[in-house]
Homo-oligomer: A and B are copies of this chain.
Amino acid sequence: MSIQNRRERERAERHQLIIDAARELAEEEGWDAVTTRRLADKVEYSQPVLYSHFKGKDAIVRAVAIQGAGELARQLRKARPEKGRSRLRAAAEAYLKFANTRPALYDAMFVQRVDIPFGTDDIPQELRDAFGELVAAVEPVRGDRDLETLTELFWSTLHGIATLTHGKRLRPAHHEARLEMALGALSLTQQEDGL
């Protein structure tokens, strides 16, 4: 039985090795550089080994994305406001910092057509966790608005800023002012209906 165990352990290690190699390659040179040949080279196995671990290249990207969501959740969890600042701001800054410092990872998670199950039941726990952190950050400013809807709006705003910034479509110098304005808009004062 212990031989079986060793084999399984080695297999799991290699599984993770592939994921790590893919992420590193993507972060260093972008996803275009992540070809099955280069990836196989990097882990020092031949191409078909990749396919004994993952159904295809997409599945590798998906695995990287899911672990990336775990990392994002961790970053959000440990983001606590300095005194005199809101939790909402701390979460927003942590989110945007993540998107900015790990653009390839962020791409795999939320930009590339990667079809992680989202709408349905089996959403990966990592994604639930990350969204949960956003919910917690939004809660103090919800007023009488629907919490989940407000979180989706918060997320959409952050995602929009992150992707447009990454595509150089927003003026970098105004990043702070934009964030300030976004937080101001989302946080305070209930509005009357029917504009």
Query: Chain A interface (Cβ within 8 Å of chain B)?
Result: 84-86, 88-89, 110-111, 113, 118-119, 145-146, 148-150, 152-153, 155-161, 163-164, 167-172, 174, 177-178, 180-189, 191-195
Distance in Å: Cβ of A131 to nearest Cβ of chain B: 9
Known: A156-B160, A157-B157, A177-B149. A85 touches B168 (CB 8 A): no
A195 contacts which of B118, B153, B187, B191 (Cβ < 8 Å)?
A: B187
Known: A152-B178, A160-B159, A167-B118. A195 touches B184 (CB 8 A): yes
Apart from the given pairs A110-B167, A119-B169, A153-B181, 15 other A-B contacts in the complex at a CB distance below 8 Å: A84-B194, A85-B195, A110-B169, A118-B167, A118-B168, A119-B172, A149-B177, A152-B171, A156-B182, A157-B157, A159-B164, A160-B161, A163-B163, A184-B195, A185-B185
Distance in Å: Cβ of A22 to nearest Cβ of chain B: 18
**Residues from chain B with Cβ under 8 Å of A167 in the complex:** 110, 113, 118
A189 to B183, CA, bound (A): 13
A153 contacts which of B113, B146, B178, B192 (Cβ < 8 Å)?
A: B178
| B195 with A183: CB separation less than 8 A | yes
Query: Closest residue of chain B to A181, judged by CB?
Result: B153
Indicate how many identical chains form the complex: 2
Distance in Å: Cβ of A127 to nearest Cβ of chain B: 9
A158 contacts which of B110, B160, B172, B187 (Cβ < 8 Å)?
A: B160
| A156 with B178: CB separation less than 8 A | yes
**Residues from chain B with Cβ under 8 Å of A192 in the complex:** 188
| B86 with A168: CB separation less than 8 A | no
The 3 closest A-B pairs by CB, nearest first: A160-B160, A156-B160, A184-B191
Query: Closest residue of chain B to A117, judged by CB?
Result: B168
**Residues from chain B with Cβ under 8 Å of A155 in the complex:** 160, 164
A21 to B46, CA, bound (A): 40
A178 to B152, CA, bound (A): 8
